[in-house]
Structure 1
Amino acid sequence: MRYKALKEIEETPIFIFVDFICLDKAPVPVDRFGIKAPQRRRTSSSEPLQSIVVVSKVALLLAVLVCSQYTAQGVYDVSKAEWGGRAPRWTVALGNYLGYAIIHHTAGSYCETRAACRAVLRSVQNYHMDSLGWPDIGYNFLIGGDGSVYEGRGWNRMGAHAAEWNLYSIGISFLGNYNWDTLEPNMIAAAKKLLNDAVNRGQISSGYVLYGHRQVSATECAGTHIWNEIRGWSHWSG
């Protein structure tokens, strides 16, 4: 994490800008705080320095709080609670430094807005829990046509997405059917960002292997368009 302070100590206000990166190597969004200090009075030569110290401490605290929230949550945009997900019936722990990440599609409805994606996610979870009898939605994370990453089972919880591979992988699914739906650049960027985050937090190893679901099960998943796309990603293995 790095901090830099820019001081203007004439009659103009003092501004402190905090520029921070929470995780090394992760393409993390950068937030900026512009904090206006009180006007300087001329009764004491030490007061400008005191103002700088006070404002710097406030900016530092804000940066730590935001960075801590990022570290806890990761890169996903929408938590399970935010999209209205049901609580799991039970969970199974998933280890760290896994060797595989497996890409899927839900083979159902495509969505382009946050509201539409929330509805689709609830439908997918209901199908997995009520029709298939699973304890939760099957995937660790899902990506919508709006470019958002949605929490499924989340970190360190074993999914139900690739039979005997569940214990050794995380499952990431795109909402839609990609035999005809197409991936947008923001969706591809979201998936790569999520994979980088998984490496940085130690969920998967830095040398992980990326598979499409069809490589580990007899299925068309993750659809032709996703299949054609991921074969060009650096960790994919044929």
Structure 2
Amino acid sequence: MWPSGEEPTVAGARSSTGSEVVIIDNHEALPPVPVPSTSNTPVISKLNVSKSSKFHIGNKFVSVTNNVHRNEVVKDVSFPRYMVDLVKNTTRAERISCIVALLLIITCIILIVYFTVIVQKPIDVDEGPEDWNITRVMWLARLYNNTDVPVNFEPLRLVIIQHTTSSPCKTHLECCADMRNLQNYFLDTHDYDIPYNFLIGNDGRVYEGVGWRKEGAHTYRYNKCSLGIGFFGDYREEEPVHTVVTELQLNRTLLMLEAGVLYGYLDPQYKVVGAKDLKSTQSPGSSLYNAIQKWEHYDHDHLYSNKTCDEIYKLKLKMK
């Protein structure tokens, strides 16, 4: 049915501007499909897509459903070059983050080394008394009935220097422990007290052995008429590991000897010898032996060598 005034103008053909169907020669036909102009349309002959399941062409998203072929080329790259390329491919924020993390790691390593190696490193701290003369009571000596054996000759004319050949004691606590160990050994093994009258610690203190006016057990044939002094340590310089005598040890020993003269325990003309001057031994070791030879009272003339106690006291000493 046609509206009024819109009769077809061509014989055998009807058309309508309001209809999508065109009737030609009594046949219905679809409207012609416009053909796009090839002159303005780009032609894509080959398209490579990587790391994507969809891509955009024009106003459409196209899904990638075909097989993906991966061709990788591995090249040997040096570590410095690799690091340079890695840095170049990072952002500024990433580089800053890496630097901060690296600084934190370095700081942690420094703190670990400091607290495990430096802070916890044992330090020889001498917390002993200021007094350099340490009595038996102070180092907690055991009581022993036979300790108080008096000497037969007074005042003493002979001082014999020896070394213990044991490990040195560098602090007051170590020396006190060594004194107790030394006493326990002689009491339990030989049934007599510490063989020395006094011992000199490597801390520079003088430790009382059996003490003044008591007979020691340090040098055969001379115990009754001599003062035996032992130095903690091994002073043989020819040994790979040896102890070196210090000025503090020597000075404290001389102070003790001066006190002995003052109190009448030592003869003012007393003589100092090393144990090797009286018997076949390496004691007191070359380091200590060389040091005592410089003392004023050292017996350079060997007055007491190969003499008994009685013979020593028959000698008339020259008064200075």
Shorter chain as normaliser: what TM range?
A: 0.5 to 0.7
Per-residue CA deviations over 1:150-169 (Å, capped at 9, x if unaligned) read: 11101111111111101111
Question: By how many angstroms is 1:121 displaced?
Answer: 1.1
Letter in 2 for 1:136: D
**2:277 partner letter:** Q
- Corresponding position: 1:216 with 2:278: yes
Q: CA deviation at 1:116?
A: 0.5
Selected match of 2:133 from 77, 87, 106: 77
Q: Which residue of 2 aligns with 1:89?
A: 145
Residue 212 of structure 2 aligns with which residue?
155
**2:186 is the alignment partner of 1:128:** yes
- TM-score, normalized by length of structure 1? 0.65
Q: Match of 1:200, as an amino acid?
A: L
- Kindly report structure 1 stretches of 4+ aligned residues shifted beyond 3 Å: none
CA contact (8 A) 1:109 1:120 kept: no
Kindly report which structure 2 residues correspond to 1:1-238, keeping only aligned pairs within 5 A, or say none. Answer: 77-90=133-146, 91-94=148-151, 95-131=153-189, 133-179=190-236, 180-238=242-300
8 Å CA contact retained: 1:139, 1:159:
yes
Aligned length: 163
C-alpha distance after superposition, 1:62-83 (max 9, x if no partner): xxxxxxxxxxxxx862111211
Q: Distance in 2 between matches of 1:170 and 1:236?
A: 14
User: Larger C-alpha radius of gyration, 1 or 2?
Assistant: 2
For 2:280 and 2:227, how far apart are their aligned partners in 1? 19
Q: CA deviation at 1:88?
A: 2.3
What CA distance in whole angstroms lies between the structure 2 residues aligned with 1:185 and 1:76? 14
CA contact (8 A) 1:198 1:204 kept: yes
User: Does structure 1 retain, via aligned residues, the 8 Å contact 2:163–2:235?
Assistant: yes
Q: What's the CA shift string for 1:11-37, capped at 9, x where partnerless?
A: xxxxxxxxxxxxxxxxxxxxxxxxxxx
Q: 1:138 & 1:196 partners in 2: Cα distance?
A: 22
- Specify the code of the residue in structure 1 equivalent to 2:173: A
1:134 to partner: Cα distance: 4.0
CA displacement at 1:89 relative to structure 2: 3.5
Q: Is the 8 A contact 2:132 2:204 kept in 1?
A: no
- Distance in 2 (CA, whole Å) between partners of 1:156 and 1:76 is 20
After superposition, the C-alpha distances for 1:151-198 in whole angstroms (9 at most, x for unaligned) are 110111111111110111111111111112011111111111011111
Q: What RMSD, in angstroms, separates the aligned Cα atoms of the two structures?
A: 1.4
Residue 135 of structure 1 deviates from its aligned partner by 1.8
Please give the per-residue CA displacement for 1:104-130, whole angstroms capped at 9, x wherever unaligned: 111112011000111111121122222
- TM-score, structure 2 normalization: 0.49
Structure 2: unaligned runs, 5 residues or longer: 1-130, 237-241, 301-320
* 134 and 228 in structure 1: CA distance in 2 versus 1, 3 angstrom threshold: farther
Percent identity, please.
Answer: 34
SS at match of 2:218: coil
